[in-house]
Structure 1
Amino acid sequence: MFIGRDKELDALDRLYKSDKFEFVVIYGRRRVGKTALINHFIDDKKAIYFMGVESNEKQNLENFSKSIIEFSSGIQAETSFSSYQAALEYVFKLAEKERVILTIDEYPYVARASKSLASTLQMLIDKYKDNSKLMLILCGSSMSYMEDQVLAYKAPLYGRRTAQMRIMPFDFAECCTYLNGLSDEDKAYIYGIVGGTPQYLLQMSDKLSVGDNIKNTYLNPMSFLYEEPLNLLKQEVREPAIYNAIITAIATGYSRMSEISTKVGESTTVCSGYLKNLIDLGIVKKETPYGEKSSKKSIYSIEDNMFYFWYRFIPDNASVIARGAVDLVYKRIEAQLNDYMGKVFEEICTQYLWKLLIEGKTPIEFASLGRWWGNDPRKKQQTEIDIMGEQDSDSAIFAECKWRNEKVDLDVLETLVDRSGLFHYTKVQYFLFSKTGFTKGCMEKAREMGNVTLVRYEDIVSLKR
């Protein structure tokens, strides 16, 4: 079942219908659905699809040749072009009078094995682009290679592309479409457990409970997800052991650079380089308090929910899982699940606020959203705000998110209002988000204030339908 990616498909369709030479670069992390997107797009079109393999130049050229010959003649043949230049020139000539799509998937594998391929492509694009109907798609999972060797200013292909797409994991709304057989509450849990990466969502069954899904995947040594973070790191980076140690440190509460460095046993300079790569991969994110730029206050957290869940619960329980005590481990996880979901719920609420903004339903048209934390000089203690966003120096929103089984009471609203007093905005809108609703006292106070929006989790899900 293919879901989502409407914006990407619309963009690809517009490029396809231009009927002139187009060069699209598509990249993103492994498992995120790049190949599925391309195959869905080219399904009813004249297209040559070739996937590179991690091999030598000869094998990749032979496979590329077979894809071209099968497209042009309809038969499989063992003959091969003498070079990539000959093969590509043949494709350009095929596309002189009709629209043809050429996709080279896993381009980094091909280009690494053939050092001159990028320069050959550059030369042929410059030669044929003005009289060609070719739509060229280069796709890759190696984020660093695609950014440094294809998109970067010094890369041979720089300036030739007509579009680029970084394919990101699904947001919560798109995940709900896939998980439509689950209850609304379980949709949030599954999103919190695996995030929006399509290949991970496919491991979840909407016919099973959240608990059984966890047992069948993370707690099953034979499952795809059981060692997925470690396998992914081995594919993406050198020295995966250090990356693993850094992610483990962050997952267990060491969020500042100095703390991570001490825990891992490496200098902050060394850790900084590794953290940058993890950020580029979409596994870790770096945050500073909203509206501030001081790197001294920066903290690191795990952005990908699958990594977040795995590192939070699996390594500490690995020995017990290996002995088959699945129910025991799940009992430990279940006791912490609501606490774990707090961060996930903040993410879901942030996505909801962005959707309200896009639909023109927010009284404050904020330009960005983020968390804030810092010192409250009035009380001489540290404090934080789950979400805040500024429209200008006079207008802002403040939000608090509570994923818990009891209704949110008046004290939560009063605390949020109090913390907003650390700033000096004249126009303020408050949002309270609750898993289970609000007490009568909280609702009465919100009506009295007039600038408070109370949002139940069920309201979020209903907006996404």
Structure 2
Amino acid sequence: MKKFVDRFQELETLENEYNSNSSSFVVLYGRRRIGKTELLNEFSRNKKCIRFLATEESEKMNREAFSSIVSEYTSNPLVKKASLSWEELFDLITDYNTDDKELIIIDEFQYIGKSNPSFISVLQKIWDTKLKNNNVMLVLCGSLINMMYSQTLSYDSPLYGRRTKQIRLKQIPFKYYKEFIDSTDEKFLIEAYSVTGGVPKYIEMFESSNDIYTAIKNSILNSQSYLYEEPEFLLKNEVQEVGSYYSIIKTIACGCEQLSDISNALEIKATNLPKYLKVLIDLDIIERVVPITEDKPEKSKMGLYKIKDNYIRFWFKFVYPYKSYIESEHIDFVLDKIKDGFIKNHVAYVYEDICKNQYLPELIIKNTFGFTPTKIGKWWDRKDTEIDIVATDNSNNIIFGECKYTKKPLDVNVYYDLLEKAKKVNWNKQNRNEYFVFFCINGYTEKMQNLAKENLNIILY
């Protein structure tokens, strides 16, 4: 049996809905391979339930398959021989005698609505007239994010307002990687995370290796592996103009992160880009970030578009440009290209995210700084100054952080460089308490350790 990792909050939400005294209607969605099925397996363990996996066949074929499952659930062999409507099938479920709440899970739900859009209205009527007033928990699960949203959560959907909970399942945080991969090597775990990005099915491909490049060669540069074409599959299932989205992601991966730069690179009017960018943001593929000190982030002209998904970022940097070489079996040539830029151009940036999202919060929770920041992010100006981490509170306290994924220990020069960069940050400049925090995968020089001992506002993680 595979080990069930994380998902504590999602599992608790499902259990609470199941144990409530009223009917429950839960929408569970998230990208493919993110662990929805494993979550439902864990939740439904030791519970009697109807579990149906919809397919891309017609609605009639799905209804007949559902009928067979209802037949087994109710121990009524006549059911699968009859041609029953959805309403009649759900009547059989609710009329079936059971002391426990009846659990109905429809996985890949979006396929039924795709084959027959009127099915959404049929299910709405079934919920309103049958399920809502019975001891039932209905879970609709799907992996096509845009379609699941439009069918179940959108204001225009007949099912709008019926759900009692919705869960969007996202990637596993880095802190749980030790439970997936049996390794005490923090560097390997970070590098594995920088590629697999918290997607459980991707992580499984790296479990048996303790060398990152071997794992990449076997699991990604192999044209027979599902990871090789995974981004293409994800986009083709979510968007129609695949080429336009490909071009945008590729451009961002190449370093064009401002709206004007993306526009110029693609020779597209900047006013035509937001609709595509919004879709990619909704899919959790990219994000728009602004300097943490901006008062009105949504209106800031300093916004940058970053690829949020680690695997897609890796793939567009190191796989997509070399597909012709991979398919002509020049694998070692491509692997050498990856080795040249993997740490500097990829892992180092993912390490910054780990420091910002995990390591710094760990220090804050331990009250290391004596205050609790309310905003954590990055900072940059219009020239060439950038600070990896800046965190502020609602008073006058500010943290400046630097993250180094380097082969050498961090030395005092990094502190003095950060001190100079901090002077350019115009936030409560006349009256603020400054703290400096450093993260380095290979530790700190003796000079740096001594400096931190002499200055209480310097923290070495």
TM-score (norm: length of structure 2): 0.92
Alpha-carbon distance, 1:95 to partner: 7.0
Q: Is the aligned partner of 1:429 residue 2:431?
A: no
Aligned-partner residue type, residue 61 of structure 1 = R
Q: Which residue of 2 aligns with 1:336?
A: 341
Q: Where do residues 332-371 of structure 1 align in structure 2 (5 Å cutoff)? A: 332-339=337-344, 340-352=346-358, 353-357=360-364, 363-371=370-378
Q: Is the aligned partner of 1:308 residue 2:313?
A: yes
Instruction: Provide the rounded CA distance (Å) in 2 between the counterparts of 1:163 and 1:357.
Output: 31
Alpha-carbon distance, 1:362 to partner: 5.2
Aligned-partner residue type, residue 114 of structure 2 = R
TM-score (norm: length of structure 1): 0.91
Superimposed CA distance per residue, residues 232-252 of structure 1 (whole angstroms, 9 cap, x where no aligned partner) = 211121121111111111111
Q: Which residue of 2 aligns with 1:99?
A: 101
Q: Which residue of 2 aligns with 1:185?
A: 187
Instruction: Provide the rounded CA distance (Å) in 1 between the counterparts of 2:418 and 2:172.
Output: 30
Instruction: Provide the rounded CA distance (Å) in 1 between the counterparts of 2:83 and 2:435.
Output: 65
Superimposed CA distance per residue, residues 78-126 of structure 1 (whole angstroms, 9 cap, x where no aligned partner) = 4255222222232233377531110111111112223333333333333
Instruction: Provide the rounded CA distance (Å) in 1 between the counterparts of 2:72 and 2:369.
Output: 54
Tell which deviates more after alignment, 308-317 or 353-362. Answer: 353-362
Q: Which residue of 2 aligns with 1:262?
A: 264
Q: Is the 8 A contact 1:194 1:305 kept in 2?
A: yes
Q: Cα 1:35–1:163, aligned 2, differ >3 Å: closer, same or farther?
A: same
Q: Cα 1:327–1:74, aligned 2, differ >3 Å: closer, same or farther?
A: farther
Q: Is the 8 A contact 1:181 1:207 kept in 2?
A: no
Q: Which residue of 2 aligns with 1:248?
A: 250
Q: Cα 1:140–1:388, aligned 2, differ >3 Å: closer, same or farther?
A: same
Q: Is the 8 A contact 1:254 1:260 kept in 2?
A: yes
Q: Is the aligned partner of 1:57 residue 2:59?
A: yes
Alpha-carbon distance, 1:268 to partner: 2.1
Tell which deviates more after alignment, 410-419 or 431-440. Answer: 410-419
Alpha-carbon distance, 1:364 to partner: 2.9
Q: Is the aligned partner of 1:372 residue 2:379?
A: yes
Instruction: Provide the rounded CA distance (Å) in 2 between the counterparts of 1:89 and 1:365.
Output: 54
Aligned-partner residue type, residue 257 of structure 1 = L
Q: Which residue of 2 aligns with 1:441?
A: 447
Percent identical among aligned pairs is: 34
Q: Which residue of 1 aligns with 2:205?
A: 203
1:391 to 383, 390, 393: 393
Instruction: Provide the rounded CA distance (Å) in 1 between the counterparts of 2:77 and 2:447.
Output: 74
Superimposed CA distance per residue, residues 48-69 of structure 1 (whole angstroms, 9 cap, x where no aligned partner) = 1111111221111111111221
Q: Which residue of 2 aligns with 1:297?
A: 302
Alpha-carbon distance, 1:440 to partner: 1.7
Q: Cα 1:325–1:115, aligned 2, differ >3 Å: closer, same or farther?
A: closer
Q: Where do residues 16-415 of structure 1 align in structure 2 (5 Å cutoff)? A: 16-73=18-75, 78-94=80-96, 97-128=99-130, 131-181=133-183, 183-292=185-294, 293=297, 294-339=299-344, 340-352=346-358, 353-357=360-364, 363-375=370-382, 381-415=383-417
Superimposed CA distance per residue, residues 16-50 of structure 1 (whole angstroms, 9 cap, x where no aligned partner) = 12242111111111111112211221121011111
Alpha-carbon distance, 1:358 to partner: 5.0
Q: Cα 1:356–1:56, aligned 2, differ >3 Å: closer, same or farther?
A: farther
Alpha-carbon distance, 1:15 to partner: 1.6
Q: Is the 8 A contact 1:96 1:133 kept in 2?
A: no
Alpha-carbon distance, 1:128 to partner: 4.2
Q: Cα 1:395–1:173, aligned 2, differ >3 Å: closer, same or farther?
A: same
* Other structure's SS at 1:437 match: coil
Q: Is the 8 A contact 2:180 2:207 kept in 1?
A: no
Tell which deviates more after alignment, 321-330 or 352-361. Answer: 352-361
Q: Which residue of 2 aligns with 1:460?
A: none
Q: Is the 8 A contact 2:67 2:84 kept in 1?
A: no
Alpha-carbon distance, 1:451 to partner: 1.6
Instruction: Provide the rounded CA distance (Å) in 1 between the counterparts of 2:324 and 2:444.
Output: 42
Q: Which residue of 2 aligns with 1:461?
A: none
Q: Is the 8 A contact 1:96 1:132 kept in 2?
A: no
Instruction: Provide the rounded CA distance (Å) in 2 between the counterparts of 1:295 and 1:233.
Output: 29
Superimposed CA distance per residue, residues 346-398 of structure 1 (whole angstroms, 9 cap, x where no aligned partner) = 111122223444565553312232111114xxxxx431111112221412222
* Other structure's SS at 2:50 match: strand
Instruction: Provide the rounded CA distance (Å) in 2 between the counterparts of 1:359 and 1:275.
Output: 38
Superimposed CA distance per residue, residues 175-204 of structure 1 (whole angstroms, 9 cap, x where no aligned partner) = 231012362211111111121111211222
* Other structure's SS at 1:70 match: helix
The alignment yields a C-alpha RMSD, in angstroms, of 2.1
Please list every run of 5 or more consecutive structure 2 residues that lacks an aligned counterpart in the other structure. none
Tell which deviates more after alignment, 144-153 or 5-14. Answer: 144-153
Aligned-partner residue type, residue 455 of structure 2 = M
* Other structure's SS at 2:138 match: strand
Q: Which residue of 2 aligns with 1:10?
A: 12
Instruction: Provide the rounded CA distance (Å) in 1 between the counterparts of 2:366 and 2:163.
Output: 32
Instruction: Provide the rounded CA distance (Å) in 1 between the counterparts of 2:186 and 2:78.
Output: 49
Instruction: Provide the rounded CA distance (Å) in 2 between the counterparts of 1:156 and 1:126.
Output: 11
* Other structure's SS at 1:370 match: strand
Q: Is the 8 A contact 1:182 1:206 kept in 2?
A: no
Count of residues paired in the alignment: 450
Tell which deviates more after alignment, 416-425 or 37-46. Answer: 416-425
Q: Is the 8 A contact 2:52 2:66 kept in 1?
A: yes
